[in-house]
Amino acid sequence: MGSPTFELTMCELSWVLRSKPDWQRKAADPEIRSKWRREALEQQAAVAAAARDPSTAVCLTEKMVDYVLGELNGYAEIADNERGIERAFFDAIWYSDRLIPSDVLERLKNAVKTLEDVPEEKKDWHPGSNNQVLDLVHPSLYCVVYDRTHAYLPGKPRIATNFLPVRAPKPISQFTSQEFSWMPSDFTVDSEGSVKLASSYINNLHPVLHQPMYRVIEDNDRVAFPDDQRLEGIDCIWGPKGKPFPEEEPGSDEDEDEFNEKFWKTVKKVIPTAKDYTGELQARFSPVSLRGRTIQCIVKLANIHLTPEQPEYEGGSWHVEGMVNERIVVSGIYYYDEENITESRLSFRVAVGEPEYHGQDDGPCMRMLYDIDKESNLVQHIGSVATKAGRALSWPNLFQHCVSPFKLADPSKPGHRKILAIFLVDPTQDRIVSATDVPPQQADWSAAAFDEACREPSSLPGALPQELRDMVKDNFPETVMSLKEAEAYRLDLMKERTASVMTHGREYVQKFNMCEY
Task: Mean pLDDT check: name the lowest of 297-301, 434-438, 461-465, 481-485.
Answer: 461-465
The pLDDT of 151-179, averaged and rounded, is 93
Domain that holds residue 467: 443-474
Confidence of residue 238 (pLDDT cuts 50, 70, 90): very low
The pLDDT of 40-50, averaged and rounded, is 91
Say if 122 falls within a structural domain. yes
Please determine, for residue 296, whether its predicted confidence score (pLDDT) is greater than 90: yes
**412 and 462 fall within a common domain:** no
Q: Which residues is 298 bridged to in the sheet?
A: 423
Between residues 487 and 361, the one the model is more confident about: 487
Q: How many CB atoms lie within 10 A of CB 220?
A: 26
Confidence of residue 241 (pLDDT cuts 50, 70, 90): very low
Please determine, for residue 376, whether its predicted confidence score (pLDDT) is greater than 80: no
Q: Which residues is 188 bridged to in the sheet?
A: 196, 294
Please determine, for residue 354, whether its predicted confidence score (pLDDT) is greater than 90: no
Between residues 161 and 501, the one the model is more confident about: 161
Say if 87 falls within a structural domain. no
The pLDDT, as a whole number, for residue 474 is: 66
The pLDDT, as a whole number, for residue 236 is: 33
Contacts of 311 (CB under 8 A, 6+ apart): 407, 408, 411
**154 and 208 fall within a common domain:** yes
Please determine, for residue 509, whether its predicted confidence score (pLDDT) is greater than 80: no
The pLDDT, as a whole number, for residue 50 is: 85
Confidence of residue 260 (pLDDT cuts 50, 70, 90): low
Between residues 10 and 461, the one the model is more confident about: 10
Confidence of residue 458 (pLDDT cuts 50, 70, 90): confident
Please determine, for residue 68, whether its predicted confidence score (pLDDT) is greater than 70: yes
Say if 15 falls within a structural domain. no
Say if 255 falls within a structural domain. no
Say if 359 falls within a structural domain. no
The pLDDT, as a whole number, for residue 48 is: 84
The pLDDT, as a whole number, for residue 239 is: 36
Please determine, for residue 510, whether its predicted confidence score (pLDDT) is greater than 50: no
| Cβ–Cβ < 8 Å for 357, 489 | no
**334 and 454 fall within a common domain:** no
Say if 72 falls within a structural domain. no
| Most confident by average pLDDT, 238-247, 325-334, 507-516 | 325-334
Burial of 82 (0-12, 13-18, 19+ CB in 10 A): exposed
d(CA 293, CA 188): 6
Confidence of residue 320 (pLDDT cuts 50, 70, 90): very high
Please determine, for residue 20, whether its predicted confidence score (pLDDT) is greater than 80: yes
Say if 147 falls within a structural domain. yes
**450 and 495 fall within a common domain:** no
Tell me the CB-side half-sphere exposure of residue 258, using CA atoms within 13 A.
Answer: 5
Task: Report how many domains make up the chain.
Answer: 2
The pLDDT, as a whole number, for residue 240 is: 38
**430 and 461 fall within a common domain:** no
Task: Mean pLDDT check: name the lowest of 24-33, 72-81, 84-93, 377-386.
Answer: 377-386
The pLDDT, as a whole number, for residue 446 is: 85
239 SS3 class? coil
The pLDDT of 429-433, averaged and rounded, is 95
The pLDDT, as a whole number, for residue 197 is: 96
d(CA 394, CA 424): 10
The pLDDT of 101-114, averaged and rounded, is 95
pLDDT tens profile 3-18:
788 899 999 999 999 9
The pLDDT, as a whole number, for residue 9 is: 92
Between residues 506 and 487, the one the model is more confident about: 487
The pLDDT of 35-53, averaged and rounded, is 90
Say if 106 falls within a structural domain. yes
Tell me the CB-side half-sphere exposure of residue 272, using CA atoms within 13 A.
Answer: 21
**491 and 342 fall within a common domain:** yes
Q: Where in 307-354 does DSSP place strands (E)?
A: 312-313, 328-339, 345-351
**430 and 448 fall within a common domain:** no
**336 and 452 fall within a common domain:** no
Read off φ and ψ for residue 133, nearest 5 degrees: -105, 115
Task: Mean pLDDT check: name the lowest of 130-144, 190-204, 379-393, 438-452.
Answer: 438-452
**219 and 327 fall within a common domain:** yes
**154 and 210 fall within a common domain:** yes
The pLDDT, as a whole number, for residue 289 is: 84
5 SS3 class? helix
The pLDDT, as a whole number, for residue 502 is: 67
**167 and 219 fall within a common domain:** yes
**222 and 337 fall within a common domain:** yes
Phi-psi region of 355 (alpha: psi -120 to 50; beta: other; left: phi over 0): beta
Confidence of residue 360 (pLDDT cuts 50, 70, 90): low
Please determine, for residue 374, whether its predicted confidence score (pLDDT) is greater than 70: no
Percentage of the chain exceeding pLDDT 90: 63
d(CA 65, CA 41): 7
Q: Where in 228-378 does DSSP place strands (E)?
A: 294-306, 312-313, 328-339, 345-351
Instruction: Give the mean pLDDT of the chain.
Output: 85
Please determine, for residue 64, whether its predicted confidence score (pLDDT) is greater than 60: yes
Please determine, for residue 514, whether its predicted confidence score (pLDDT) is greater than 80: no
The pLDDT, as a whole number, for residue 251 is: 47
The pLDDT, as a whole number, for residue 424 is: 95
The pLDDT of 24-44, averaged and rounded, is 97
